[in-house]
Amino acid sequence: MTTATPIRIAHDTIDRPALWLAFELSANQWKLGFTTGAAQRPRERQVPARHIEAVREEIRKAKERFGLPADAPVISWYEAGRDGFWLHRWLVTHGVANCVVDSSSIEGNRRHRRAKTDRLDVQKLLTMLLRHVAGARKVWRIVRVPSVEEEDRRQWPRALTTAKRDRTRVINRIKGLLAAHGLVMPPGRDFPQQLEHLRLWDGTPLPAGLRHRLNQEWEHVVALARRIAQWEAERRAVLQTAEDAVTQKVQQLLMLKGVGINSAWLFVLEFYGWRAFHNRKEVGALSGLTPPPMRVATPPMRRVSPKPATPTSARWLLRLPGAGGAFSLRVR
């Protein structure tokens, strides 16, 4: 696999005429805003979502509209979201200096109500892009884009976590269906056999429709359990045979007391596998264990709960003994 090399916005790029581009991404349409400076009225266009050839054509037309040469640099940005990083890689591959921004860090108006349309959003994004390049540091925060290999490496651990959550959700649904009739889910793996012996409050068996639905839900539980067991077996095999740097970090974490295989894989793939931390604040911000700010608007003062970028990692950190537990107590 080939990965796009990120392009940094250098001062020599800013000094010469450049085309500034802001994306407002949605499921069906993309809003593009072009400008050449703060005094220039933005050029706004709409293209079908994920239509990269239309984006390339609009960039060419925008250069002609503003009188820029064909080789003029293009500086763009968009908010991190459901579209992921494929657009960033495509832009960087075609020579566009692009940056992906954390949407929760974008500077906003403190008024409760404000006008919000795609046209106003694009104009605001262009203004903030110009401020960021001019040197404003608190406009937003740039997202560190992983490579294709780094992003793909996190797929199956996340799939395993999702399967476990789905299994818990289905089991809770079964418990809820039984609780609505005054019954408790019997323990054990022979749930279909025990279901035949369950009786309602008047001694009658369960209705046929309810039994059919419960059996179907249990089949879903069994399928998820089989899938989880398969993924866990593959994870153990990878841990024993692989010799890459990521697996070695997992093996090193497993040597620590209180760190199991689930938390070791999580910390490496979400924290230490590809991210580069510069201080403790970045680690705390990612995990959600930073001290929350004080809310002083209305008495009594109370703390606003921080939102971790990876909620699963925050839960595992709270379970760790020693430093993780002490840090969580200080945060609380």
97: its two tokens: 């200096």
Q: Can you tell me which residue has the tokens 């809003």?
A: 31
Find, among 68, 183, 63, 44, the residue nearest to 121 by Cα. 44
Average pLDDT over residues 9-23: 71
pLDDT tens-place string over residues 244-260: 888 888 888 888 888 88
In contact, 289 and 314? CB cutoff 8 Å: yes
Q: How far is CA 257 from CA 140, 249, 252, 264, 320, in A?
A: 39, 15, 11, 11, 9
For residue 303, the SS3 value is strand
pLDDT at residue 307 in the model: 57
pLDDT at residue 137 in the model: 75
Average pLDDT over residues 259-271: 85
Where are the alpha helices (H) located in 68-144, listed in sequence order?
A: 86-93, 118-134
Q: Can you tell me which residue has the tokens 């494929």?
A: 86
In contact, 253 and 239? CB cutoff 8 Å: no
pLDDT tens-place string over residues 97-114: 999 988 877 776 655 555
pLDDT at residue 220 is higher than 50: yes
d(CA 135, CA 5): 23
Q: In 239-269, which positions are buried (b, 16+ CB within 10 angstroms) versus exposed (e)?
A: eeeeeeebbebbeebeeeeebeebbbbbbbb
For residue 32, the SS3 value is strand
Mean pLDDT taken over the chain: 81
**In the chain, how many H helices and how many E strands?**
13, 7
Which residues are CB-contacts of 305 (< 8 A; sequence separation ≥ 6)? 292
pLDDT at residue 323 is higher than 90: no
Above pLDDT 70, what percent of the chain? 78
Phi, psi for residue 244 in degrees, rounded to 5: -80, 170
Query: Which of the residue ranges 3-17, 50-64, 235-249 would you say has the lowest mean pLDDT?
Result: 3-17
pLDDT band at 282 (very low <50, low <70, confident <90, very high): confident
User: Please, what is the angle between helix 311-319 and helix 280-287, to 10°?
Assistant: 110
pLDDT band at 324 (very low <50, low <70, confident <90, very high): very low
Topology annotation, domain 11-145:
Nucleotidyltransferase; domain 5 (3.30.420)
19: its two tokens: 């085309």
d(CA 202, CA 53): 68
pLDDT tens-place string over residues 195-215: 988 999 999 999 999 999 999
pLDDT tens-place string over residues 29-66: 999 999 988 778 889 999 999 999 999 999 999 999 99
pLDDT at residue 164 is higher than 90: yes
pLDDT tens-place string over residues 134-152: 777 778 888 889 889 888 8
Phi, psi for residue 30 in degrees, rounded to 5: -110, 130
